[in-house]
Structure 1
Amino acid sequence: MLCFVTLTLQAQDVWTAAGSSTIFGSNWNETDTSNDLTDKGDGIWELTKTGCILEQNVKNELKILKNHDWYIEVHPEKANYVFKVEETGIYDVTIQFNANNFEINVKTTKTGDAVIGEKTWTVAGFKAILGKNWDQTAIENDMIKQNDNVTYILTKTNLTLAIGTYKYKICANHGWAENYGDENDSEGNASVFITRDGIYDLTFTFNTDTHEVSCVPTRKADAIIEKIWSVAGNEGLFETAWDEQSTANEMTKQENNIYILEKKGINLNAQTYEYKVCSNHDWTESYGADPSGRGNAILTITEAGTYDVTFTFNQVTKEVSATAVPSVTDGISQIASDIKTKKVIFNLQGQRISAPKQGVYIINGKKVVLK
């Protein structure tokens, strides 16, 4: 008797390190196989990079990811793993990863001296404040060194800015290998907060010793800014709950600074729905219960049914309102609805009708015209 055995080979998972180009050669490149870790057994994986020029007190960042894909598994899950060296020099960097408990350890061994030349510092971030969107190569956003040799400044003038939060970072030598922002931000970005529409000068400051980042906005004049106003709120009233990014819920400008949004044929329950109007698909400027922006606006539905809802916003007074009226259906739809909901239908002579045609009828005590 012959026996056939089928062997199935399953590819082993691969763990890869990605991060600062000063360590890995490539910058945050999850596909770079030269940064794959070696399986040492018992769940321990290791990678050593040699000849790395590292600078004193400069952050070096990395993550470990599975199978060259950011979306399968990555460690640490949120913030990057960060390490520094106490002395500028050439280093061997050994990265060890424990796949059992996901711990990362880094060992640095200095192998030689190194001299770090003077760096170019550039501001990169939102296009509205810097002219280009997150462009670390934009030489027009290079900072100017001050007389103390540690302070760098960039001033952007006559910017027309709407109320909102604008993000940026300071990067070295037109690359992202070394960059600074706000460590308390989920993405490490620094922020400029604009609380009134207007024309502004922005002064960005960076200290190369402390790596402190700041931006001071100076308001120079009023500005009239055309904004996109949209409505977001509870699911049911809207397709997705509190989705300020939805273009389907943008309002249409009318006369006298009035904006409206009409949503027809919405099936609503007998309940209270909450919503707000926001500008430019962002919650920074939003209005609801009162013109100061505090609290949500409310629409109360007393009887479940299908409604046409009209949202209204006054851009000058910041007043928000919504009205809901039962949707008007054609005769065929009305008949189907009557049958489905078992409504009682009579003609004008008081006779009960099971299949009404065109005409005037009494439906649940109300006169209705079927067309």
Structure 2
Amino acid sequence: MPTRLLVTGAGSGPGNNLIRSLKTGAPSLVVAGCHSDRFVLKKSAAERNFLVHPATHRAFSRDLGRLLDRVRVDLVIPTTDADVWALSGVRGRLRDRVFLPPRSMIALCQDKYRLSRWLRSRGVAAPLTYAVPSLARVPGIFRRLGATPLWCRVRAGSGSVAAIPVRNPRQAQAWMAYWATMRGVPVRSFTLSEYLPGRDFGCQSLWARGRPVLTKAFERLSYIAAGGHPSGVSSVAALAKTAADPQVREVTTRAVRALGRNVAGLFSVDLKEDSAGTVCVTEINAGRFLAGTNLLDVSGKHNMAVTYVRLALGERVGFLEEPEQTREHYMVRDVDTLPGVFPAEEFFTGIEDART
């Protein structure tokens, strides 16, 4: 009997990208999808699709529980932080058909301020970060951090929401006041931290029984709709390339190991270089794949999405290492197009240069 999966967020970019990776690596998988928005769900790449309540609704777990029997689901795979949090609290109702870290570990990772303090206290490079209790305390935080610009962002969320570089207290206070007034985000939800100007990486790491099984990374080279973000960046790359930098993998491994003992599950880590070239952890998305997972799944020897399913279903998988000679790949993404993944040496095949 084929393995049956249920992917949340079906029809969204992250959901469809994950489904594409799964079917590319293991065509025999039967993939169903669910979403709380019927319009997004209509675009799903899954074979069967189900409308459910939002992850924040108390009926969400009931909906999924019914689908376990209706579709004979072997594994539920979340694609957003909200889905991860909701599923982590109803493992029993879902008969443990999820592959997630402990709920306390997820809570730690979903609070960027707590996470940075936790990692730094355990010797893992992360930007020095301060919580903002009130607008009046902002000048003091600037004095403690010293060099500017600083990075201002909220403690929770994804996609660089409310993130902006600021050069002085007045800019930071105005930004936080705007979000509090217009978007209902309390000032105490914000943090100020060191600004990291260097290269930007995404790294996915699969763990089982306290050991890393497979870790792969990419470097973000440009960003979708960057001009529409005050920060000029986002976590969604328009152009990215596979990265074999050993420092990225090493820091990722140390960061995940620092979260606790007997680590298991998926950890998607965002990292940036500081002014000295040290790779620092900026956040850890526990329990879900990065939106650009296709680049890591279809390149190299091992498909991360399929390996995740194997681990989740109890298969014993030893340490998997990508060969050093693995070809460099690039991923190109834009709004309203499917992501394209290309080997570096084929990147200009079929393109004629009319500039000369």
| TM-score, scaled to structure 2 | 0.21
Q: Larger relative contact order (C-alpha < 8 A, sep ≥ 6)?
A: 2
Q: Counting strand residues as a fraction of each chain, which structure ranks higher?
A: 1
Greater C-alpha radius of gyration = 1
Task: Point out the structure with the larger helix share.
Answer: 2
